Amino acid sequence: DSGVTQTPKHLITATGQRVTLRCSPRSGDLSVYWYQQSLDQGLQFLIQYYNGEERAKGNILERFSAQQFPDLHSELNLSSLELGDSALYFCASSVALAGDTQYFGPGTRLTVL
């Protein structure tokens, strides 16, 4: 157990819908990262937040957004869902902005039908 929690574990929804994935970092970690893992694309970095502020953006679609709240938990919002958005979504956390060790949560498996 890495200390990073994610909910829900599984999510099944339809195309066009909107979902919210939640992540709670390890106690004391200020940085939160979101990754998408699909079969043919490996682990793709989406976005990083540090202490409530967005710090880095990767291959995140405009239909996706995220935020980090004052209690440091983070939410990833996915809207206008498409079949291709089906994937495992991982959250990771690290102590610092340039945190070396990223600890991954158990992931949320999103299935879009």
Residues of the shown chain interacting with another protein in the complex, contacts defined by CB under 8 A:
2, 33, 41-45, 48, 55-56, 58, 90, 97-107
Least Cβ distance, residue 16 to another protein (angstroms): 28
The nearer residue to another protein, 25 or 105, going by C-beta atoms, is 105
The nearer residue to another protein, 14 or 98, going by C-beta atoms, is 98
Least Cβ distance, residue 91 to another protein (angstroms): 10
Least Cβ distance, residue 109 to another protein (angstroms): 9
* Residue 80 · residue 61 · CB < 8 Å: no
Least Cβ distance, residue 94 to another protein (angstroms): 9
The nearer residue to another protein, 45 or 75, going by C-beta atoms, is 45
The nearer residue to another protein, 15 or 59, going by C-beta atoms, is 59
Three state DSSP letters for the chain: CCCCEEECCEEEECCCCCEEEEEECCCCCCEEEEEEEECCCEEEEEEEEECCEEEEECCCCCCEEEEECCCCCEEEEECCCCHHHCEEEEEEEECCCCCCCCEECCCEEEEEC
